[in-house]
Structure 1
Amino acid sequence: MISFIKSLYLGRRLFYILFGISILFLLSYWIEFLYSPTWITASFILVLLFFDMIALYRNNGIEADRMLPEKFSNSDENNVEINISNKYGFRVYTEVIDEIPVQFQKRDFLKKIVLQAHDQIVFDYKLKPLHRGEYVFGNLNLYASTFLKLAKRRYVFNKDQMVKVYPSFIQMKKLDFLALDQKISLHGIKRIRRIGHTMEFEQIKEYVRGDDVRTINWKATAKHGNLMVNQFQDERSQPVYSLIDCGRMMKMPFEGLSLLDYAINSTLAFSNIALKKKDKVGMMSFSNKVDNLQKASSKLNQLSRILEALYNVDTGFYDSDFSLLYSRVRKHISHRSLLMLYTNFEHMSGLKRQLPFLTALSKQHLLVVIFFENTEMTRLTKIDPENVSESAHQTIAEQFSNNKLLMAKELHRHGIQTLLTPPEDLSINAINKYLEIKSRGLL
């Protein structure tokens, strides 16, 4: 009985009718002949409501299911599918209310669907998470009514479903093609001019116009009677590490996503490309301590291990200890490696405090310092100020933007590779930097 009461709702149409009947009863105080027809109307409505409830509760006429993917991709649109089946022998008007995880702060989800007799429908909607972690869906509520719409029956399905939000594997898959040697020309992807070649031999082939004459193989030329050249390929199985700064400076938000999450998404996409280029990939996250360390490897399950490690990376709002980073790198990474350091500096003084440790790292490894443009400051530099206040804001913004460029030049002056990038272009620019280093044989 309690479950029946909890599932029964009265329709808005019934309340409109009851309001009209109450008005007629009020008018019948002065107009007496309205009294009897009003009672007849009220009785008729009660009979209709009774039959409406019998039709809805005669059997369990609605089945529904929320189909979630195994995991969500952070900062991407993720599909959630709803499958609804009508077991009634008549048309049903339904209202679907899905209790979306609290992280989205969305309480206006409502989908109205008309289901024909014994019909089935599947629809989907998209969710874009901006934080990693566990997301719990509440009830999938479905309110069914007949064409009378006097009563509604509530059905509840899929209570407390949980899905984990991982770093952006959708973005990783989109950038898969960059692992190919013959890259097509797309917006945001620059061509890398190959300077020289590496010394890992691939094959001997016939000379074609444009080949480096210094690679001519004279013995093979004499044997075949045609010019033959040695062809080289990028060196493989080189250790590549992503070093992720989890300090408080990486908590800054841009477009709803923190710099740390941009770095994590980029690390996953970059690691995937490096593995496809046959390099060994590892990662390390640090702030006031080293939280995660994955040794470089080219095993098949390495990308899954990195994905799980990145899922748990978070910031504790501490100041980052670069001296600790240097000591851990020196202890755990013995071979010369490519270090992609994701961090952020807002002031030259902050960079100079860490510069001795960065310089020490660059002497033992090929270090690439990746930090971020402040896109809001860049936007302010491009507006036309309309008053003194806006002009002052623009001056400060230009100073901040110039400081970023000065920091990049300071790093270059100490022989450190640098990448200054907007947060939204981080993944593609980091991969381009890696491909440039591979093509120039710098590692």
Structure 2
Amino acid sequence: MRPTLLLLRLFIAWLVLAVVACIWENLVLLWQIGGGALLFAMLVDAFTLPRRGRITGKRSLPGRFALGVESPVTLTVTHAASRTLNLELFDGIPTAAEAVDLPCRVTIPPGEYAALSYQARFLRRGQHVFTPAHVLATSAFGLWKNRHFVAGESETRAYPNYEPVVRFAMLAMANRVEQMGIVKRRRMGASLDFHQLRDYQDGDVLSRIDWKATSRRSTLVSRDYEETRNQTILLVPDCGRRMRALDGGLSQFDHCLNAMLLIAFIALRQGDEVGVVGFGGVQRWLPPVKGAHSMPKLLNHLYNYEASNEPSDFIEAAERVMTLQRRRALVILLTNLRSEDGATLASAVAAMQRRHLVLTATLREQELEQRAAASIDHLQDALQYGALTHYFGERRQLMESLRARRVLTVDESAQMLPVALANKYLDVKAGGLL
């Protein structure tokens, strides 16, 4: 039980009256009557507070939360008191979440309930726990409040933001993937397997006409091909400390996870299998899985990946890939390259290229590009611009050295990485490089 602001104001007024009564003795009786009345009101009002267990509630959570995306949470509160209750509620949200609509106030008549909804947004992936909600109930005269705990604990998970994946699926159903910037590549023969024979249709390429079947049936017959399937895509995310840098409100590691989800969805949809090998403080391994039904398995494996405080060791990553993945695969290394990575990265890529096709996807810091594009007004701005120019030059040299070694590369900002990586994967499939 705690006093309200109204009670504190009344008590302060009574103290002021006591000071005045010390000056004018005629007010002493009034001060005594006022004190007695206030004490009596406090005692009577304390008995109007609802007892423990008279206020109950339950919490309704969405099936899953997406990182950085607001999702509704509903608290349903009821009470067994015989009068109308004025309540103040604050849900026990996890430390990794935020909600701008809390605390909230509600008035509940006897025999009724209140369903309160607010938007919660998680700032960190993983498994989280909502603790019991705090409810402050006000007494009849408004002099006291007491606290109740309702709704109990609720476990939930915050997954990477898979909105680009859902958006791609919806556009793909409408045959409009180009609206995302993902370009459907013209398939070359090297990446296609024979599927079946069918009747010739207007627009078929003449090279696909099966002349032996045509001579037997006395009508044009075309060969039908399907894209090569059962290939392996191995995602190798850098979980080291360099990926902890924030970019647009999310860490670079979270942006990498978003790109991984999109490329995994496309690959599984095309009949390929997808595996995951973490490095840089995270020694986790998901053997390649296949089929669109495997997407939830990938989500459950990736949702609690976190960037560690350890350095990124590309040699270690190459050794793990060569040990765990025996079959030839497209190895997609997702990181944020630095100029000092040249020697170790070259050795690691060379080791993996003996068996696999390697694609290095690196993130560009959008904040650094914005600083480089800002106007130069002072000496400090000029020095900063010079340092950034030197940094970008070293980065370009590193990417050119990788291309010279015939390593596939993607160098994009965090926001554009998912689409750029998807287009690169489709290029690999179209060219039959794998």
TM-score normalised over the length of structure 1: 0.84
Match of 2:349 in 1: 358
Match of 1:213 in 2: 206
Instruction: Answer yes or no: is 1:368 the counterpart of 2:354.
Output: no
CA shift for structure 1 position 292:
2.1
Q: String of CA shifts for 1:206-228, please: whole Å, max 9, x gaps.
A: 4233x433223345656777655
Which of the numbers 78, 85, 94 marks the counterpart of 1:101?
94
Aligned partners of 1:381 and 1:58: how far apart in 2?
63
Which of the numbers 228, 231, 242 marks the counterpart of 1:235?
228
CA shift for structure 1 position 69:
4.4
Q: Residue 122 of structure 2 aligns to a residue in which SS?
A: coil
Instruction: Answer yes or no: is 1:192 the counterpart of 2:192.
Output: no
Aligned partners of 1:128 and 1:404: how far apart in 2?
35
Which of the numbers 62, 68, 74 marks the counterpart of 2:55?
62
Which of the numbers 139, 142, 145 marks the counterpart of 2:135?
142
Equivalences for 1:35-434 in 2 at 5 Å? 35-57=28-50, 60-69=53-62, 71-103=64-96, 109-146=102-139, 148-158=141-151, 161-169=154-162, 172-177=165-170, 180=173, 182-186=175-179, 188-197=180-189, 198-203=191-196, 204-209=198-203, 211-218=204-211, 228-287=221-280, 291-298=283-290, 302-311=294-303, 313-347=305-339, 349-434=340-425
The gaps in structure 2 that reach 5 residues or longer are: none
Aligned partners of 1:404 and 1:66: how far apart in 2?
50
CA shift for structure 1 position 15:
1.2
Q: Residue 421 of structure 1 aligns to a residue in which SS?
A: strand
Q: String of CA shifts for 1:34-81, please: whole Å, max 9, x gaps.
A: 444454444444444344333323685422223344654334334433
For these two proteins, the number of residue pairs brought into alignment is 432
Task: Tell me which amino acid in the other structure corresponds to 1:374.
Answer: E
Task: Tell me which amino acid in the other structure corresponds to 1:110.
Answer: P
Task: Tell me which amino acid in the other structure corresponds to 1:382.
Answer: A
Task: Tell me which amino acid in the other structure corresponds to 1:57.
Answer: P
Of residues 87-96 and 128-137 in structure 1, the stretch that sits farther from structure 2 once superposed is 128-137
Q: Residue 364 of structure 1 aligns to a residue in which SS?
A: coil
Q: Residue 375 of structure 2 aligns to a residue in which SS?
A: coil
Aligned partners of 1:178 and 1:112: how far apart in 2?
42
Change (3 A) 1:376 1:228: same
Match of 1:4 in 2: none
Change (3 A) 1:192 1:344: same
Aligned partners of 2:291 and 2:202: how far apart in 1?
37
TM-score normalised over the length of structure 2: 0.85
Q: Residue 56 of structure 1 aligns to a residue in which SS?
A: coil
Q: Is the contact made by 2:50 and 2:81 (CA closer than 8 Å) also made in structure 1?
A: no
Identity %: 22
Aligned partners of 1:173 and 1:277: how far apart in 2?
16
Aligned partners of 1:169 and 1:324: how far apart in 2?
29
Q: Is the contact made by 1:359 and 1:416 (CA closer than 8 Å) also made in structure 2?
A: no
Change (3 A) 1:91 1:425: farther
